[in-house]
Amino acid sequence: MNAPERAPVNPLERLKDKGLLKTQSFIGGGWAAGGARFAVANPATRQVIAEVDDVGAAGAKAAVAAAHQAFQTWRKTSPFERAKVLKAWHALIMENVHDLAVLVTAEMGKPFREAQGEVVYGAGFVDWSAEEAKRIHGETLPTPFPGSRGWTIRQPVGVVACITPWNFPMAMVTRKCAPALAAGCTMVLKPAPETPLSALALAELAKRAGVPDGVFNVVCGEAEAIGPVLTGSDEVRMIGFTGSTEVGKILMRQAADGVKRVALELGGNAPFIVMDDADVEAAAAGVVASKFRVSGQTCVSANRVIAQEKVADRLVEALAEKVKALKPGDGFAEGVDIGPLIHDEAVARVDALVRGAKDAGAKILAGGRRLDDLGGAFYAPTLVEGGGYDLDLACFEIFGPVASVYRARDEAEIIARANDTPYGLAAYVYTQDIGRVHRLSEALDFGMVGVNAPMVGSPSTPFGGVKQSGIGREGGKWGVEEFTELKYVLLGGVEG
Protein backbone atom coordinates (compact mmCIF):
# COMPACT_ATOMS: atom_id res chain seq x y z
CA MET A 1 0.00 0.00 0.00
CA ASN A 2 1.30 3.45 -0.86
CA ALA A 3 2.03 5.80 2.03
CA PRO A 4 -0.44 8.68 2.10
CA GLU A 5 0.92 11.80 0.46
CA ARG A 6 2.25 14.28 2.99
CA ALA A 7 0.25 17.50 3.00
CA PRO A 8 2.47 20.46 2.09
CA VAL A 9 3.54 22.52 5.07
CA ASN A 10 1.75 25.85 5.23
CA PRO A 11 4.49 28.48 4.62
CA LEU A 12 2.79 30.74 7.17
CA GLU A 13 4.22 28.44 9.84
CA ARG A 14 7.49 30.28 9.21
CA LEU A 15 6.08 33.37 10.91
CA LYS A 16 8.01 34.18 14.07
CA ASP A 17 5.24 36.48 15.31
CA LYS A 18 1.95 34.69 14.69
CA GLY A 19 0.16 37.88 15.77
CA LEU A 20 0.95 39.29 12.33
CA LEU A 21 -1.38 36.80 10.67
CA LYS A 22 -4.73 38.58 10.51
CA THR A 23 -7.75 37.37 8.56
CA GLN A 24 -10.33 40.02 9.40
CA SER A 25 -10.66 43.59 8.19
CA PHE A 26 -9.20 46.44 10.22
CA ILE A 27 -11.87 49.09 10.82
CA GLY A 28 -11.78 51.92 13.36
CA GLY A 29 -8.82 50.33 15.15
CA GLY A 30 -10.52 46.92 15.64
CA TRP A 31 -10.74 43.64 13.73
CA ALA A 32 -14.04 43.19 11.94
CA ALA A 33 -15.59 39.89 10.89
CA GLY A 34 -17.64 39.41 7.73
CA GLY A 35 -20.29 36.95 6.64
CA ALA A 36 -18.53 35.17 3.79
CA ARG A 37 -14.88 34.16 3.56
CA PHE A 38 -12.49 33.91 0.65
CA ALA A 39 -9.43 31.74 0.22
CA VAL A 40 -5.86 32.95 -0.14
CA ALA A 41 -3.68 30.49 -2.05
CA ASN A 42 0.08 30.10 -2.47
CA PRO A 43 0.61 30.25 -6.26
CA ALA A 44 3.74 28.09 -6.00
CA THR A 45 1.76 25.11 -4.67
CA ARG A 46 -1.92 26.08 -5.14
CA GLN A 47 -2.34 25.31 -1.42
CA VAL A 48 -4.91 27.41 0.44
CA ILE A 49 -2.91 29.10 3.20
CA ALA A 50 -5.61 31.21 4.85
CA GLU A 51 -9.26 32.23 4.67
CA VAL A 52 -10.11 35.89 5.00
CA ASP A 53 -13.43 37.50 5.95
CA ASP A 54 -15.25 39.43 3.24
CA VAL A 55 -16.77 42.49 4.94
CA GLY A 56 -18.44 43.68 1.72
CA ALA A 57 -20.25 46.99 1.23
CA ALA A 58 -21.26 47.21 4.91
CA GLY A 59 -17.63 46.93 6.00
CA ALA A 60 -16.60 49.57 3.47
CA LYS A 61 -19.28 51.96 4.79
CA ALA A 62 -18.14 51.39 8.38
CA ALA A 63 -14.52 52.02 7.37
CA VAL A 64 -15.41 55.27 5.59
CA ALA A 65 -17.35 56.42 8.68
CA ALA A 66 -14.38 55.56 10.93
CA ALA A 67 -11.95 57.34 8.61
CA HIS A 68 -14.24 60.39 8.44
CA GLN A 69 -14.48 60.61 12.20
CA ALA A 70 -10.73 60.13 12.68
CA PHE A 71 -10.01 62.81 10.07
CA GLN A 72 -11.54 65.48 12.31
CA THR A 73 -8.67 65.06 14.80
CA TRP A 74 -5.85 63.65 12.63
CA ARG A 75 -6.01 66.68 10.30
CA LYS A 76 -5.26 68.92 13.28
CA THR A 77 -2.29 66.97 14.67
CA SER A 78 1.08 68.63 14.34
CA PRO A 79 3.20 67.34 11.46
CA PHE A 80 5.81 66.48 14.06
CA GLU A 81 3.32 64.21 15.81
CA ARG A 82 2.41 62.54 12.52
CA ALA A 83 6.11 62.12 11.73
CA LYS A 84 6.67 60.45 15.11
CA VAL A 85 3.88 57.93 14.54
CA LEU A 86 5.14 57.15 11.01
CA LYS A 87 8.71 56.72 12.30
CA ALA A 88 7.41 54.22 14.87
CA TRP A 89 5.53 52.36 12.10
CA HIS A 90 8.67 52.32 9.97
CA ALA A 91 10.74 50.92 12.87
CA LEU A 92 8.24 48.11 13.44
CA ILE A 93 8.16 47.22 9.73
CA MET A 94 11.97 47.04 9.74
CA GLU A 95 11.94 44.86 12.88
CA ASN A 96 9.58 42.47 11.12
CA VAL A 97 11.12 42.25 7.63
CA HIS A 98 11.37 38.47 7.91
CA ASP A 99 7.74 37.90 8.77
CA LEU A 100 6.40 40.43 6.31
CA ALA A 101 8.48 38.85 3.55
CA VAL A 102 7.10 35.43 4.53
CA LEU A 103 3.58 36.80 3.96
CA VAL A 104 4.54 38.27 0.59
CA THR A 105 6.18 35.10 -0.71
CA ALA A 106 3.41 32.89 0.67
CA GLU A 107 0.55 34.81 -0.90
CA MET A 108 2.04 35.98 -4.20
CA GLY A 109 5.06 33.79 -4.82
CA LYS A 110 8.06 36.06 -5.42
CA PRO A 111 11.41 34.69 -4.22
CA PHE A 112 11.93 35.32 -0.50
CA ARG A 113 15.01 37.49 -1.16
CA GLU A 114 12.94 39.70 -3.47
CA ALA A 115 10.15 39.80 -0.91
CA GLN A 116 12.59 41.02 1.75
CA GLY A 117 13.75 43.68 -0.71
CA GLU A 118 10.17 44.76 -1.28
CA VAL A 119 9.50 45.12 2.45
CA VAL A 120 12.59 47.31 2.91
CA TYR A 121 11.68 49.32 -0.22
CA GLY A 122 8.11 49.69 1.07
CA ALA A 123 9.33 50.74 4.52
CA GLY A 124 11.37 53.44 2.81
CA PHE A 125 8.15 55.24 1.82
CA VAL A 126 7.06 55.33 5.46
CA ASP A 127 10.40 56.77 6.56
CA TRP A 128 10.48 59.28 3.70
CA SER A 129 6.89 60.36 4.36
CA ALA A 130 7.62 60.80 8.08
CA GLU A 131 10.36 63.27 7.15
CA GLU A 132 8.30 64.90 4.44
CA ALA A 133 5.37 65.53 6.84
CA LYS A 134 7.53 68.27 8.36
CA ARG A 135 8.19 69.92 5.00
CA ILE A 136 4.68 70.67 3.79
CA HIS A 137 4.99 74.39 3.13
CA GLY A 138 2.86 77.26 1.96
CA GLU A 139 4.13 80.39 0.21
CA THR A 140 3.64 84.12 0.51
CA LEU A 141 2.33 85.76 -2.66
CA PRO A 142 2.52 89.16 -4.28
CA THR A 143 -0.96 90.67 -4.67
CA PRO A 144 -2.31 93.46 -6.93
CA PHE A 145 -4.70 94.75 -4.23
CA PRO A 146 -3.55 97.75 -2.15
CA GLY A 147 -3.06 97.07 1.55
CA SER A 148 -3.31 93.32 1.19
CA ARG A 149 -1.27 90.20 1.77
CA GLY A 150 -1.65 86.81 0.17
CA TRP A 151 -0.39 83.37 1.01
CA THR A 152 -1.07 79.69 0.42
CA ILE A 153 -1.49 76.83 2.84
CA ARG A 154 -1.49 73.14 2.05
CA GLN A 155 -4.16 71.08 3.79
CA PRO A 156 -5.01 67.38 3.71
CA VAL A 157 -7.46 66.35 0.98
CA GLY A 158 -9.63 64.40 3.46
CA VAL A 159 -10.61 60.76 3.58
CA VAL A 160 -8.73 58.87 0.85
CA ALA A 161 -9.76 55.46 -0.47
CA CYS A 162 -7.05 53.36 -2.07
CA ILE A 163 -7.21 50.13 -4.04
CA THR A 164 -3.98 48.20 -4.46
CA PRO A 165 -2.75 45.26 -6.57
CA TRP A 166 -1.05 41.98 -5.66
CA ASN A 167 2.37 42.37 -7.33
CA PHE A 168 3.86 44.48 -4.52
CA PRO A 169 1.49 43.70 -1.64
CA MET A 170 3.56 45.75 0.85
CA ALA A 171 5.13 48.54 -1.17
CA MET A 172 1.97 49.54 -3.07
CA VAL A 173 0.24 49.95 0.31
CA THR A 174 2.97 52.00 1.99
CA ARG A 175 3.58 54.13 -1.12
CA LYS A 176 -0.02 55.39 -0.82
CA CYS A 177 -0.79 55.22 2.91
CA ALA A 178 2.38 56.75 4.32
CA PRO A 179 2.25 60.00 2.30
CA ALA A 180 -1.52 60.25 2.83
CA LEU A 181 -1.14 59.96 6.60
CA ALA A 182 1.84 62.35 6.54
CA ALA A 183 -0.34 64.95 4.82
CA GLY A 184 -3.03 64.55 7.50
CA CYS A 185 -5.45 62.43 5.46
CA THR A 186 -7.10 59.29 6.78
CA MET A 187 -7.32 56.14 4.69
CA VAL A 188 -9.54 53.26 3.69
CA LEU A 189 -7.51 50.67 1.84
CA LYS A 190 -8.82 47.76 -0.20
CA PRO A 191 -6.00 45.34 -0.99
CA ALA A 192 -6.10 42.82 -3.84
CA PRO A 193 -8.04 39.65 -2.96
CA GLU A 194 -4.93 37.59 -3.80
CA THR A 195 -2.78 39.38 -1.16
CA PRO A 196 -4.81 40.63 1.80
CA LEU A 197 -2.46 39.19 4.46
CA SER A 198 0.39 41.62 3.77
CA ALA A 199 -1.90 44.65 4.08
CA LEU A 200 -3.51 43.31 7.26
CA ALA A 201 -0.08 42.73 8.84
CA LEU A 202 0.83 46.33 8.00
CA ALA A 203 -2.38 47.41 9.74
CA GLU A 204 -1.45 45.40 12.84
CA LEU A 205 1.96 47.10 12.90
CA ALA A 206 0.33 50.51 12.39
CA LYS A 207 -1.84 49.82 15.43
CA ARG A 208 1.19 48.79 17.47
CA ALA A 209 3.00 51.94 16.30
CA GLY A 210 0.25 54.14 17.70
CA VAL A 211 -1.58 55.15 14.52
CA PRO A 212 -4.87 56.37 16.06
CA ASP A 213 -8.04 54.34 15.56
CA GLY A 214 -9.76 55.05 12.25
CA VAL A 215 -6.77 56.79 10.64
CA PHE A 216 -5.82 53.66 8.68
CA ASN A 217 -8.48 51.10 7.78
CA VAL A 218 -8.17 47.97 5.65
CA VAL A 219 -11.28 46.40 4.12
CA CYS A 220 -11.11 43.01 2.44
CA GLY A 221 -13.69 41.54 0.13
CA GLU A 222 -15.23 41.62 -3.29
CA ALA A 223 -14.09 44.60 -5.35
CA GLU A 224 -17.42 45.05 -7.13
CA ALA A 225 -19.20 45.48 -3.77
CA ILE A 226 -16.58 47.61 -2.01
CA GLY A 227 -15.42 49.78 -4.94
CA PRO A 228 -18.73 51.64 -5.55
CA VAL A 229 -19.10 52.41 -1.82
CA LEU A 230 -15.67 54.04 -1.83
CA THR A 231 -16.13 55.94 -5.09
CA GLY A 232 -19.75 56.86 -4.26
CA SER A 233 -19.28 58.16 -0.72
CA ASP A 234 -19.44 61.95 -0.24
CA GLU A 235 -17.01 61.58 2.65
CA VAL A 236 -14.28 60.12 0.44
CA ARG A 237 -12.48 62.97 -1.31
CA MET A 238 -9.86 61.09 -3.28
CA ILE A 239 -9.39 57.71 -4.94
CA GLY A 240 -5.89 56.27 -5.22
CA PHE A 241 -5.43 53.19 -7.38
CA THR A 242 -2.69 50.98 -8.75
CA GLY A 243 -3.76 48.29 -11.20
CA SER A 244 -4.96 47.75 -14.73
CA THR A 245 -5.88 50.62 -17.04
CA GLU A 246 -9.26 48.95 -17.55
CA VAL A 247 -10.18 49.10 -13.84
CA GLY A 248 -8.59 52.55 -13.52
CA LYS A 249 -11.04 53.84 -16.12
CA ILE A 250 -13.99 52.31 -14.24
CA LEU A 251 -12.88 54.02 -11.02
CA MET A 252 -12.29 57.32 -12.79
CA ARG A 253 -15.81 57.20 -14.24
CA GLN A 254 -17.29 56.35 -10.84
CA ALA A 255 -15.27 59.11 -9.15
CA ALA A 256 -16.47 61.66 -11.72
CA ASP A 257 -19.95 61.91 -10.18
CA GLY A 258 -18.50 63.27 -6.96
CA VAL A 259 -15.69 65.15 -8.78
CA LYS A 260 -13.20 63.31 -6.57
CA ARG A 261 -9.51 63.66 -7.05
CA VAL A 262 -7.94 60.56 -8.61
CA ALA A 263 -4.36 59.31 -8.48
CA LEU A 264 -3.95 56.41 -10.89
CA GLU A 265 -0.94 54.17 -11.51
CA LEU A 266 -2.04 52.03 -14.44
CA GLY A 267 -0.59 49.67 -17.01
CA GLY A 268 2.57 50.16 -19.00
CA ASN A 269 4.26 48.92 -22.14
CA ALA A 270 7.87 49.77 -21.41
CA PRO A 271 10.32 49.94 -24.32
CA PHE A 272 13.84 48.86 -23.40
CA ILE A 273 16.03 50.53 -26.02
CA VAL A 274 19.56 49.34 -26.72
CA MET A 275 21.47 51.72 -29.01
CA ASP A 276 24.41 50.61 -31.13
CA ASP A 277 26.92 52.35 -28.83
CA ALA A 278 25.58 50.67 -25.67
CA ASP A 279 27.46 48.41 -23.28
CA VAL A 280 25.71 45.26 -24.51
CA GLU A 281 26.57 43.11 -21.48
CA ALA A 282 25.17 45.77 -19.13
CA ALA A 283 22.09 46.11 -21.34
CA ALA A 284 21.47 42.34 -21.28
CA ALA A 285 21.83 42.30 -17.48
CA GLY A 286 19.47 45.29 -17.37
CA VAL A 287 16.82 43.51 -19.45
CA VAL A 288 16.99 40.50 -17.13
CA ALA A 289 16.72 42.68 -14.02
CA SER A 290 13.81 44.67 -15.43
CA LYS A 291 11.99 41.79 -17.07
CA PHE A 292 12.27 38.86 -14.68
CA ARG A 293 11.82 40.57 -11.31
CA VAL A 294 8.44 39.48 -9.87
CA SER A 295 8.30 37.06 -12.85
CA GLY A 296 7.73 40.04 -15.14
CA GLN A 297 4.57 41.03 -13.27
CA THR A 298 5.30 44.72 -12.78
CA CYS A 299 3.92 47.71 -14.66
CA VAL A 300 7.48 48.95 -15.31
CA SER A 301 8.81 45.61 -16.62
CA ALA A 302 10.57 45.84 -20.02
CA ASN A 303 7.79 44.87 -22.42
CA ARG A 304 9.53 45.46 -25.76
CA VAL A 305 13.29 45.24 -26.08
CA ILE A 306 14.12 47.42 -29.09
CA ALA A 307 17.67 46.87 -30.31
CA GLN A 308 19.47 48.91 -32.94
CA GLU A 309 20.43 46.56 -35.77
CA LYS A 310 24.20 46.65 -35.24
CA VAL A 311 23.99 45.28 -31.67
CA ALA A 312 20.88 43.12 -31.96
CA ASP A 313 22.66 39.78 -32.56
CA ARG A 314 25.10 40.31 -29.70
CA LEU A 315 22.28 41.36 -27.38
CA VAL A 316 20.09 38.37 -28.26
CA GLU A 317 23.02 36.00 -27.71
CA ALA A 318 23.86 37.49 -24.30
CA LEU A 319 20.19 37.45 -23.33
CA ALA A 320 19.66 33.83 -24.35
CA GLU A 321 22.49 32.73 -22.10
CA LYS A 322 21.18 34.71 -19.14
CA VAL A 323 17.53 33.70 -19.57
CA LYS A 324 18.41 30.00 -19.84
CA ALA A 325 20.36 30.25 -16.58
CA LEU A 326 17.37 31.55 -14.57
CA LYS A 327 16.03 29.00 -12.10
CA PRO A 328 12.27 29.00 -11.57
CA GLY A 329 10.70 27.50 -8.43
CA ASP A 330 9.00 27.97 -5.08
CA GLY A 331 10.04 31.35 -3.69
CA PHE A 332 10.99 29.75 -0.38
CA ALA A 333 13.43 27.27 -1.99
CA GLU A 334 17.16 27.99 -2.07
CA GLY A 335 18.71 29.34 -5.26
CA VAL A 336 15.42 30.20 -6.97
CA ASP A 337 15.62 33.26 -9.26
CA ILE A 338 12.04 33.46 -10.38
CA GLY A 339 8.78 32.50 -8.70
CA PRO A 340 5.39 31.50 -10.08
CA LEU A 341 2.85 33.79 -11.72
CA ILE A 342 -0.04 34.93 -9.56
CA HIS A 343 -2.45 32.19 -10.73
CA ASP A 344 -3.18 29.70 -13.49
CA GLU A 345 -5.19 32.18 -15.58
CA ALA A 346 -2.11 34.39 -15.73
CA VAL A 347 -0.08 31.43 -17.02
CA ALA A 348 -2.69 30.71 -19.69
CA ARG A 349 -2.67 34.37 -20.78
CA VAL A 350 1.12 34.51 -21.10
CA ASP A 351 1.17 31.19 -22.91
CA ALA A 352 -1.40 32.48 -25.42
CA LEU A 353 0.72 35.59 -26.09
CA VAL A 354 3.83 33.49 -26.74
CA ARG A 355 1.92 31.04 -28.95
CA GLY A 356 0.49 33.95 -30.92
CA ALA A 357 4.00 35.32 -31.48
CA LYS A 358 5.27 31.91 -32.54
CA ASP A 359 2.41 31.48 -35.01
CA ALA A 360 3.28 34.88 -36.48
CA GLY A 361 6.85 33.76 -37.13
CA ALA A 362 8.69 34.84 -33.98
CA LYS A 363 11.60 32.67 -32.83
CA ILE A 364 11.49 31.20 -29.31
CA LEU A 365 15.11 31.24 -28.15
CA ALA A 366 14.52 30.12 -24.55
CA GLY A 367 11.56 28.73 -22.59
CA GLY A 368 8.23 29.24 -24.32
CA ARG A 369 6.23 26.73 -22.27
CA ARG A 370 4.30 26.20 -19.08
CA LEU A 371 6.09 24.43 -16.25
CA ASP A 372 3.23 22.35 -14.90
CA ASP A 373 5.64 19.83 -13.35
CA LEU A 374 6.62 22.36 -10.71
CA GLY A 375 3.17 22.01 -9.15
CA GLY A 376 2.10 25.66 -9.28
CA ALA A 377 1.40 28.55 -11.65
CA PHE A 378 4.78 28.44 -13.37
CA TYR A 379 5.90 29.60 -16.80
CA ALA A 380 9.43 29.14 -18.11
CA PRO A 381 11.70 32.20 -18.39
CA THR A 382 11.31 32.93 -22.08
CA LEU A 383 13.12 34.83 -24.83
CA VAL A 384 11.32 35.63 -28.07
CA GLU A 385 12.74 37.38 -31.09
CA GLY A 386 11.01 38.98 -34.06
CA GLY A 387 7.47 38.53 -35.28
CA GLY A 388 6.73 42.24 -35.70
CA TYR A 389 5.67 45.22 -33.66
CA ASP A 390 1.97 44.50 -34.19
CA LEU A 391 2.03 41.24 -32.22
CA ASP A 392 -0.19 41.12 -29.13
CA LEU A 393 3.06 40.36 -27.33
CA ALA A 394 4.30 43.83 -28.29
CA CYS A 395 1.04 45.74 -27.97
CA PHE A 396 -0.21 44.46 -24.60
CA GLU A 397 1.40 44.33 -21.21
CA ILE A 398 2.87 40.82 -21.01
CA PHE A 399 2.89 40.58 -17.20
CA GLY A 400 4.96 37.41 -17.33
CA PRO A 401 8.55 36.17 -17.66
CA VAL A 402 8.85 36.75 -21.39
CA ALA A 403 11.45 39.05 -22.93
CA SER A 404 10.78 39.88 -26.57
CA VAL A 405 13.31 41.55 -28.83
CA TYR A 406 12.57 43.70 -31.91
CA ARG A 407 14.99 45.40 -34.28
CA ALA A 408 15.07 48.99 -35.53
CA ARG A 409 17.37 50.95 -37.85
CA ASP A 410 18.01 54.37 -36.36
CA GLU A 411 17.11 56.80 -33.62
CA ALA A 412 14.07 58.19 -35.46
CA GLU A 413 12.56 54.74 -36.00
CA ILE A 414 13.33 53.73 -32.42
CA ILE A 415 11.59 56.78 -30.97
CA ALA A 416 8.56 56.28 -33.22
CA ARG A 417 8.29 52.57 -32.33
CA ALA A 418 8.78 53.21 -28.62
CA ASN A 419 6.08 55.90 -28.49
CA ASP A 420 3.63 53.90 -30.60
CA THR A 421 1.52 52.76 -27.65
CA PRO A 422 -1.35 54.21 -25.63
CA TYR A 423 0.76 53.69 -22.51
CA GLY A 424 3.49 55.90 -21.09
CA LEU A 425 4.83 54.66 -17.78
CA ALA A 426 8.53 53.68 -17.88
CA ALA A 427 11.07 53.53 -20.69
CA TYR A 428 14.71 52.43 -20.63
CA VAL A 429 17.61 53.49 -22.81
CA TYR A 430 21.09 52.02 -22.95
CA THR A 431 23.64 54.26 -24.66
CA GLN A 432 27.06 55.76 -23.95
CA ASP A 433 26.41 58.87 -26.04
CA ILE A 434 25.55 61.90 -23.93
CA GLY A 435 23.73 63.62 -26.81
CA ARG A 436 21.53 60.57 -27.23
CA VAL A 437 20.82 60.49 -23.50
CA HIS A 438 19.26 63.94 -23.77
CA ARG A 439 17.56 63.49 -27.15
CA LEU A 440 15.96 60.17 -26.24
CA SER A 441 14.95 61.00 -22.67
CA GLU A 442 13.24 64.15 -23.99
CA ALA A 443 11.58 62.45 -26.97
CA LEU A 444 10.14 59.44 -25.14
CA ASP A 445 6.50 59.96 -24.07
CA PHE A 446 6.87 58.22 -20.73
CA GLY A 447 6.69 59.41 -17.13
CA MET A 448 10.01 57.81 -16.18
CA VAL A 449 13.14 57.07 -18.20
CA GLY A 450 15.94 54.85 -16.91
CA VAL A 451 19.18 55.56 -18.76
CA ASN A 452 21.66 52.71 -18.29
CA ALA A 453 19.49 51.82 -15.28
CA PRO A 454 16.90 49.02 -15.27
CA MET A 455 15.01 50.05 -12.12
CA VAL A 456 13.77 53.53 -11.41
CA GLY A 457 11.49 53.48 -8.36
CA SER A 458 12.60 54.84 -4.98
CA PRO A 459 11.00 56.67 -2.04
CA SER A 460 12.63 59.97 -3.02
CA THR A 461 11.73 60.09 -6.73
CA PRO A 462 8.46 60.64 -8.65
CA PHE A 463 6.80 57.46 -9.92
CA GLY A 464 3.97 57.71 -12.43
CA GLY A 465 2.92 57.73 -16.04
CA VAL A 466 1.50 59.77 -18.89
CA LYS A 467 -1.17 58.88 -21.49
CA GLN A 468 -3.21 55.84 -20.40
CA SER A 469 -0.64 54.88 -17.76
CA GLY A 470 -2.10 57.20 -15.19
CA ILE A 471 -2.49 60.48 -13.42
CA GLY A 472 -0.39 61.77 -10.55
CA ARG A 473 2.92 60.84 -8.98
CA GLU A 474 3.91 58.73 -6.00
CA GLY A 475 7.16 59.17 -4.08
CA GLY A 476 9.31 62.16 -3.25
CA LYS A 477 7.77 65.47 -2.30
CA TRP A 478 5.27 64.99 -5.14
CA GLY A 479 3.84 61.86 -3.50
CA VAL A 480 2.91 63.82 -0.38
CA GLU A 481 1.73 66.88 -2.30
CA GLU A 482 -0.75 64.64 -4.14
CA PHE A 483 -2.68 64.23 -0.85
CA THR A 484 -2.90 67.96 -0.15
CA GLU A 485 -5.17 70.75 -1.34
CA LEU A 486 -3.65 74.13 -2.08
CA LYS A 487 -5.60 76.93 -0.40
CA TYR A 488 -5.07 80.62 -1.17
CA VAL A 489 -5.77 83.22 1.51
CA LEU A 490 -6.05 86.97 0.83
CA LEU A 491 -5.91 89.35 3.78
CA GLY A 492 -7.16 92.86 3.08
CA GLY A 493 -7.03 96.08 5.11
CA VAL A 494 -3.48 95.54 6.31
CA GLU A 495 -2.44 99.18 5.77
CA GLY A 496 -5.18 101.56 6.92
Active centre residues (catalytic)? 265, 299
- Whole-number minimum distance, CB 346 to ligand ADP, in Å? 8
Nearer to ligand ADP, 388 or 422 (CB): 422
Q: How far apart are the first and last CA of the chain?
A: 102
User: 368, 365, 343: which is closest to 355 by C-alpha?
Assistant: 368
Residues 6 or more apart in contact with residue 54 via CB below 8 angstroms: 34, 35, 36, 37, 38, 220, 221, 222
Nearer to ligand ADP, 32 or 294 (CB): 294
293, 294, 296, 302 alpha-carbon torsion, rounded to 10°: -40
Task: Decide: residue 343, CB within 10 A, 0-12 exposed, 13-18 middle, 19+ buried.
Answer: middle
- Whole-number minimum distance, CB 427 to ligand ADP, in Å? 21
- Interface positions with ligand ADP (CB under 6 A): 163-165, 190, 192-193, 223-224, 227, 243-244, 247, 250-251
User: 240, 251, 230: which is closest to 125 by C-alpha?
Assistant: 240
Task: Decide: residue 480, CB within 10 A, 0-12 exposed, 13-18 middle, 19+ buried.
Answer: buried
Nearer to ligand ADP, 200 or 280 (CB): 200
- Whole-number minimum distance, CB 130 to ligand ADP, in Å? 26
Nearer to ligand ADP, 216 or 430 (CB): 216
462 — alpha (psi -120 to 50), left (phi > 0) or beta? Answer: beta
Nearer to ligand ADP, 96 or 198 (CB): 198
- Whole-number minimum distance, CB 170 to ligand ADP, in Å? 14
- Whole-number minimum distance, CB 107 to ligand ADP, in Å? 13
The stretches of 41-111 forming alpha helices (DSSP H) are 56-74, 79-95, 97-108
DSSP output for 94-117: HHTHHHHHHHHHHHH---HHHHHH
